[in-house]
């Protein structure tokens, strides 16, 4: 009598025995272009050859990976799963080539660090100095972004660890440790402080100003919206949505009613060289804490462990100094 075969085991055997890296690269190209004509042009092959290659990949995965629509090739649910696999494997391959290249150049390895722009300068300096002063030296890649972008980079294996705001979304395998609390403050152009600070703190009045806020669906934007709602005020429609410090500084300098929220310690660090200043109000809430992020699979790596230790120790010293 024939024995029943586990479908998952059969699919895994098919992937292990038949799937090749160039086929994963093909999936990414199809997803990028959504057109077999453009994929063929990029890969310098005929369209029939690309069509045949895609059919072979779909046969290996045992599912149709793309729907053919008037808008081009659109990933099916199975296609999205296959693309997730392709992105992860190819990202790991790219990371490995970078590590090997750094080793060949005499370095002891490579670490990819993500940072948000409102990480205090002292914390950022401690992290980068620790990494760059190691002996033997390692190669460092630093990347800035919002917390959501950095978490996405971690999950895609594009970075190894990050320092950002606490993350409240679902992310399997993500490890985060809150390390530093920051006080928020309202920031305006320095020449506008006296005029905009008249009277007591009034969120209804503040909501009428020209706000600079982080992009939608970021942890900080959700926090700020919740503050307005908690004060019984409709969150304002911002004139600018950005995390770019240069853009924020330019708008604060030129727009007389522009206002934003910053971590007070970061604002003080930048106040000397910028034309902005804090309004004299104390806000009775805290920003999401600065946190250290990595993945379970790499948190035991010696370089990641030593970096986290330095960052945590620096944050502790900053807390102690602030309390004095």
Q: Where are the domains of the chain?
A: 7-86, 108-181+289-323, 184-278
114 membership: H or E segment, kind and range? strand 110-115
Classify domain 108-181+289-323 at the CATH superfamily level: Periplasmic binding protein-like II (3.40.190.10)
Interval 31-42: pLDDT, tens: 888 888 888 888
Would you state the CATH architecture of domain 184-278?
Answer: 3-Layer(aba) Sandwich (3.40)
Interval 259-276: pLDDT, tens: 999 998 888 887 766 788
List, edge to edge, every strand of the sheet that includes 110-115.
139-144, 110-115, 161-165, 290-295, 174-180
Fold: same for 7-86 and 108-181+289-323:
no
Interval 159-182: pLDDT, tens: 999 999 998 888 888 999 999 999
pLDDT at 133 over 80: yes
> pTM of the entire structure?
0.69
Interval 279-315: pLDDT, tens: 999 998 888 899 999 999 888 888 899 999 999 999 9
CA pair distance 266, 117, nearest whole angstrom:
9
> Helix H segments across 161-244?
193-196, 203-206, 219-230
pLDDT at 257 over 80: yes
pLDDT over 90, % of the chain: 40
**Is the alpha carbon torsion for 177, 182, 184, 187 positive or negative?**
negative
The closest alpha carbon to 47, from 65, 30, 69, 64, belongs to 30
Q: Can you tell me the mean pLDDT for 131-149?
A: 86
Q: Which CATH number fits domain 7-86: 3.40.50.970, 1.10.10.10, 3.40.50.300, 3.40.640.10?
A: 1.10.10.10
User: Are residues 11 and 20 in contact, defined by beta-carbon separation less than 8 angstroms?
Assistant: no
HSE-up of residue 4 (Cα within 13 Å, Cβ side): 3
């Amino acid at each position: 009598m024939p024995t029943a075969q586990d479908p998952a085991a059969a699919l895994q055997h098919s992937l292990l025995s038949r799937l090749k890296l160039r086929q994963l690269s093909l999936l990414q190209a199809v997803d990028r272009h959504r057109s077999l004509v453009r994929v063929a042009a990029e890969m310098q092959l005929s369209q029939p050859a690309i069509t045949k290659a895609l059919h072979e990949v779909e046969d290996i995965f045992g599912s149709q990976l793309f729907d053919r629509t008037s808008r081009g090739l659109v990933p099916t649910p199975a296609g999205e799963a296959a693309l997730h696999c392709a992105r992860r494997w190819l990202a790991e391959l790219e990371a490995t080539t970078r590590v090997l290249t750094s080793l060949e150049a005499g370095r002891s390895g490579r670490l990819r660090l993500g940072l948000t722009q409102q990480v205090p300068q002292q914390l950022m300096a401690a992290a980068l100095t620790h990494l760059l002063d190691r002996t033997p030296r390692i190669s460092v890649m630093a990347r800035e972004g919002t917390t959501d972008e950095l978490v996405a980079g971690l999950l895609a294996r594009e970075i190894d660890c990050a320092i950002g705001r606490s993350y409240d979304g679902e992310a399997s395998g993500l490890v985060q440790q809150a390390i530093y609390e920051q006080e928020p403050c309202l920031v305006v152009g320095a020449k506008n402080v006296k005029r905009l600070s008249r009277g007591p703190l009034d969120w209804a009045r503040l909501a009428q100003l020209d706000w600079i806020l982080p992009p939608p669906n970021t942890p900080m934007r959700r926090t700020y919206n919740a503050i307005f709602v908690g004060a019984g005020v409709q969150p304002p429609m911002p004139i600018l949505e950005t995390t770019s410090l240069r853009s924020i500084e330019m708008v604060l300098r030129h727009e007389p009613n522009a206002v934003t929220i910053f971590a007070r310690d970061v604002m003080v660090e930048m106040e000397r060289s910028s034309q902005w200043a804090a309004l004299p109000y104390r806000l009775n809430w805290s920003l999401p804490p600065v946190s250290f992020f990595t993945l379970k699979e790499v948190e035991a790596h010696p370089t990641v462990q030593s970096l986290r230790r330095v960052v945590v120790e620096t944050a502790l010293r900053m807390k102690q100094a602030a309390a004095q």
